[in-house]
Structure 1
Amino acid sequence: MQTSPAHAAHHNDREIETLEEFDAVVSSRGTLAGFRVQCVDLTDRTKELLASDATGAVFLGCPMRENAAAKVRADGALVFPPLPGLPFDPYRGHLYRPDELFAALDKGYEETPDALAYAWFQQTKTDGDIYASMLRSVHDDAISDALDELLRGTRVVGVMGGHALGRGTDAYGGAARLGRALARAGFTVATGGGPGAMEAANLGAYAAPYDDTMLDEACELLAKSPSFVPSVTDWARAAFEVRARWPKGNTSVGIPTWFYGHQPPNAFASHIAKYFANATREDGLLARSNAGVVFLPGAAGTVQEIFDNATPNYYESRGEPTPMVLVNRAHWTERLPTWPLLQALARDRSMESRIALVDRIEEAPEALIRLAHVNES
């Protein structure tokens, strides 16, 4: 059964993000004064716009008739018009869905909105155009707002790990079982939203409502396209085939970035918060993982994420430290000896009781819950 956080509909009560909300506000209040109307098609609401006071209102990317736009401007409203030439909407009021980013996949990944947005990003980044830079910033801020609305009141566990982890491997299956166990324990799983370990964790969360055999079967189907290299198209199609066979997956969140454009988003996160600015994305992912983070084996990006998370825990800049669980002792003590440094940082600080190293991925959920209880005591 498709579930979503119960609070998903709740947001700033001055924001209007759907036509239904617009109609409700006009009907109940009779005024739009002070409201922020975000990415709502108001072409067929001219009568309501002409009849309502729009003093201090802001319209972000809302199509409307010219007489309605002139009227609300005369009231003192700010009107930011839609920008139809872009491959994305900078004013969007909601997170992306996989079907949206991968629309037109049947023509090849290069024709999808995801790929076109990356191409636009590459071009405008090279040009150094301040207008394009502003649009990217507006978009990313809108994404952050939508992400906060979705996650408000939920217990979020971040799962970090390398993008190179291949479908069909034991490690991929383990990461998927981790995501499933966390979702079944009542956590909202959040990942970096890309391939590899990130996809596996989102897949596991997606599989949570089904019996255990579903995940095994899904992994077998996906293994036929083990990597997004050389063909993102084939890799993504395999994921959508799994989704079509088991359409009622559980909610999870992917938080990828166009900064790493060679890494496509995965199709198993029900909500995708895709950013242009990687720094905003990295910090936002870790800051929202309020119930802790599990770090699977990875390389430079995962090491960076460990210490990006350790720093606010060390200084308690976000309040009480949150749990950190590192998986695979040999990886984090020998191949990339991150654990000894993390231990040294944590010594004699409150975060010391909130870090753990486990050998096997199956141990991670129990370790996370144990550390969370320490956090609460």
Structure 2
Amino acid sequence: MPADSTPPPAREIETLEEFDRIALTGSFAGYRVQAVDLTDRTFALLVADTTQAVFLGCPMEPQALAHVRAGGALVFPPVPHLPFDPYRATLYSPAELYADLAVAGYEHTPDARSYDWFTQTAAGGDILASMLRSIHDDAVTDALDEHLAGARVVGVMGGHAMKRGTDAYAGAARLGRDLARAGMTVATGGGPGAMEAANFGAYAAPHEDVMLGKALSVLAGVPSFRPSVGAWAAAAFEVRERWPEGGSSLGVPTWFYGHEPPNAFASHIAKFFANSVREDTLLARCNSGVVFLPGAAGTVQEIFEAATPNYYASRGEPTPMVLVDRHHWTEELPAWPLLSALARDHAMAWRITLVESVTEVPGALARLEEK
């Protein structure tokens, strides 16, 4: 390539089907090939132009590997013995994170093994481990943006302590169902409690109304992920099996809080190692508002993480914020008075509200979006 020529635009290949289609052109110049097994595509690689291509975690035969490197490609090889793929091109699914649950128990699932790897490497200062965590989180962020392109996303935040079988859990589930039926993508922190309830509600959205009550009864048999994550997750998978083809939603959990397992009702899961990245990633993509159910430290943190870009208008027009339960947010944890004072004389003042019940949330969101 001449020294003064413009580099080819970077484009992504994330499936074998996409690879085969581009292979017909004879050139992968400038492409980013991500987490595609190319061990059976040696000939295609040997005859193709790979100038300024990048191969991220793509297994290939030694002959093909030598050729693409000689042709100007940058190759990040697969990393052996990891319980996760740092170069993954897609979001997680519940079935993937909970693989082998029924056979070997939760401690042997990819989710639990990834948490174990994280706890063993995070404290050691291993530069390779920290690099792999960063690459993984960046890959998940890329997959998340692709998944949410054009979606109207409403975040539902709340504590993990909310138990199945309670009125609060049922209310959060109905909220998730109502938002999903209104055409919203429900996004949560992806864990148990209020987060699971909202994701479950979105899962129930395509089914008849009676399904929600019946499924809630099944879930109530295992109220919490303590003492057994396996039993808690198994109850969710039982619901999914009895009422298949549920609605989609998003969960954004973190291995930083590994004691909180991901819930099995979010159809798409963006799981991160870095909690700070996870928090900002989730809130930044809630373009149609954020609902804050009663919670503790984590939920309070999320309120003001959402408030900061609204205050400074750093992401453009402020997004709606709805806090639910007056007593909780004015007496138990008085975040509302501080939020109101912060919003005074700013555009965000017109985009925040406090309501008593989850039944008021859809209407409140609609009013705030109109302002």
Normalising by the smaller structure, the TM-score range is over 0.9
Q: Equivalents in 1 of 2:230, 2:10: separation in Å?
A: 41
The runs of at least 4 aligned residues of structure 1 exceeding 6 Å deviation read none
Partner of 1:6: none
Partner of 2:66: 70
Amino acid at match of 2:45: L
Partner of 2:247: 250
Partner of 1:87: 83
Tell me the CA shift for residue 84 of structure 1.
2.2
Matched, 1:208 2:196: no
Secondary structure, aligned partner of 1:248 = coil
Matched, 1:44 2:40: yes
Match of residue 225, structure 1, among 212, 222, 227: 222
Match of residue 361, structure 1, among 358, 361, 366: 358
Matched, 1:271 2:264: no
Match of residue 285, structure 1, among 282, 286, 296: 282
Match of residue 191, structure 1, among 171, 188, 192: 188
Matched, 1:318 2:340: no
Match of residue 24, structure 1, among 21, 25, 33: 21
Partner of 2:256: 259
Amino acid at match of 2:28: L
Tell me the CA shift for residue 314 of structure 1.
0.3
- TM-score, normalisation: structure 1: 0.95
Partner of 1:105: 101
Partner of 2:167: 170
Partner of 2:30: 34
The answer on whether the counterparts of 2:200 and 2:266 sit within 8 Å (CA) in structure 1 is: yes
Secondary structure, aligned partner of 2:123 = helix
Q: Equivalents in 1 of 2:66, 2:338: separation in Å?
A: 61
Tell me the CA shift for residue 126 of structure 1.
1.7
The answer on whether the counterparts of 2:55 and 2:76 sit within 8 Å (CA) in structure 1 is: yes
The answer on whether the counterparts of 2:152 and 2:288 sit within 8 Å (CA) in structure 1 is: yes
Q: Equivalents in 2 of 1:240, 1:124: separation in Å?
A: 31
Q: Equivalents in 1 of 2:212, 2:17: separation in Å?
A: 37
The answer on whether the counterparts of 2:88 and 2:140 sit within 8 Å (CA) in structure 1 is: yes
Partner of 1:5: none
Secondary structure, aligned partner of 1:127 = coil
Amino acid at match of 1:187: M
- CA offset digits 1:325-357 (Å, max 9, x no partner): 000011101111111111111111110110011
The answer on whether the counterparts of 2:10 and 2:32 sit within 8 Å (CA) in structure 1 is: no
Partner of 1:152: 149
- CA offset digits 1:232-277 (Å, max 9, x no partner): 0000000000011111011100000000010000000000000000
Secondary structure, aligned partner of 1:250 = coil
Tell me the CA shift for residue 30 of structure 1.
2.1
Matches within 5 A, 1:328-339: 328-339=325-336
Tell me the CA shift for residue 26 of structure 1.
1.4
Secondary structure, aligned partner of 1:137 = helix
Amino acid at match of 2:51: T
5+ residue gaps, structure 1: 1-11
- CA offset digits 1:140-196 (Å, max 9, x no partner): 000000000000111100000000100000000000000000000011000000000
Tell me the CA shift for residue 114 of structure 1.
0.2
Q: Equivalents in 1 of 2:207, 2:245: separation in Å?
A: 9
Q: Equivalents in 1 of 2:206, 2:259: separation in Å?
A: 32
- CA offset digits 1:30-73 (Å, max 9, x no partner): 21011000000011111111111101000000011110111101
Q: Equivalents in 1 of 2:291, 2:10: separation in Å?
A: 34
5+ residue gaps, structure 2: 1-8
Amino acid at match of 2:313: E
The answer on whether the counterparts of 2:35 and 2:58 sit within 8 Å (CA) in structure 1 is: yes
Amino acid at match of 1:335: E
Secondary structure, aligned partner of 2:237 = helix
Q: Equivalents in 1 of 2:60, 2:128: separation in Å?
A: 23
Amino acid at match of 2:17: E
- CA offset digits 1:61-113 (Å, max 9, x no partner): 00111101111011010111111210100000000000000001011100000
Q: Equivalents in 1 of 2:10, 2:32: separation in Å?
A: 9
The answer on whether the counterparts of 2:10 and 2:30 sit within 8 Å (CA) in structure 1 is: no
Secondary structure, aligned partner of 1:93 = coil
Secondary structure, aligned partner of 2:364 = helix
- TM-score, normalisation: structure 2: 0.97
Partner of 2:118: 121
Tell me the CA shift for residue 13 of structure 1.
7.1
Amino acid at match of 1:199: E
Partner of 1:57: 53
Residues matched between the structures, number: 362
Q: Equivalents in 2 of 1:136, 1:244: separation in Å?
A: 33
Amino acid at match of 2:347: S
Q: Equivalents in 1 of 2:217, 2:138: separation in Å?
A: 38
Secondary structure, aligned partner of 2:128 = helix
